[in-house]
Amino acid sequence: MSKSNKNRKIMETYYKSISKGDFEKVISLMDENVKFHIIGESPFSGYWKGKENVYGILVPAVVASLDQTTVAFAENWKIMCSDDKRVTGLMTAKGKSLNGQVMDQTYCHIFKIENSKIIEVYEFMDTAQNERTLNIENLNGQSGVSGPMQF
């Protein structure tokens, strides 16, 4: 199997695991020092480095903002392209936030993969919708490092 196809399989596992709520599997696909670059200027945006920050602060703060009885992450997803180093995909998220706002989000992800681990993620979405639906208090004073995305 080519490296491009292996990378595609990793990302298929990623999206399928998110849709099932299997975050243990999602986390296992990440390098320990994974880097997340999230578009926008909110505290959720910016540069997040390491599993402990992404899955210990960022993701729990997002999830805590949402009514879990209504949320569906990665119900729809598609790999747009893959090569020996990167995979680009689209994913949806729908539901309601705890403040009553509707979330109907589409994400575009660019993943960088080395040694069968995700080492970098670039995430693009409707940032205004994130500001309406996500509660910054759930970050407990933490935030991504602000500034333009690093390439």
**Structural domains in the chain?**
3-134 (3.10.450.50)
pLDDT tens by residue, 69-116: 999 999 999 999 999 999 999 999 999 999 999 999 999 999 999 999
Task: Inform me whether the pLDDT recorded for 35 exceeds 80.
Answer: yes
On whether the CB atoms of residues 94 and 75 are closer than 8 A, the answer is yes
On whether the CB atoms of residues 88 and 81 are closer than 8 A, the answer is yes
Question: What does the chain come to in residues?
Answer: 151
On whether the CB atoms of residues 22 and 107 are closer than 8 A, the answer is no
Both tokens of 66, joined, read 């949402």
The whole-model pTM stands at: 0.93
Distances (CA, A) of 130 to 44, 93, 138: 9, 11, 13
What is d(CA 58, CA 31) in angstroms, rounded to the nearest whole number? Answer: 16
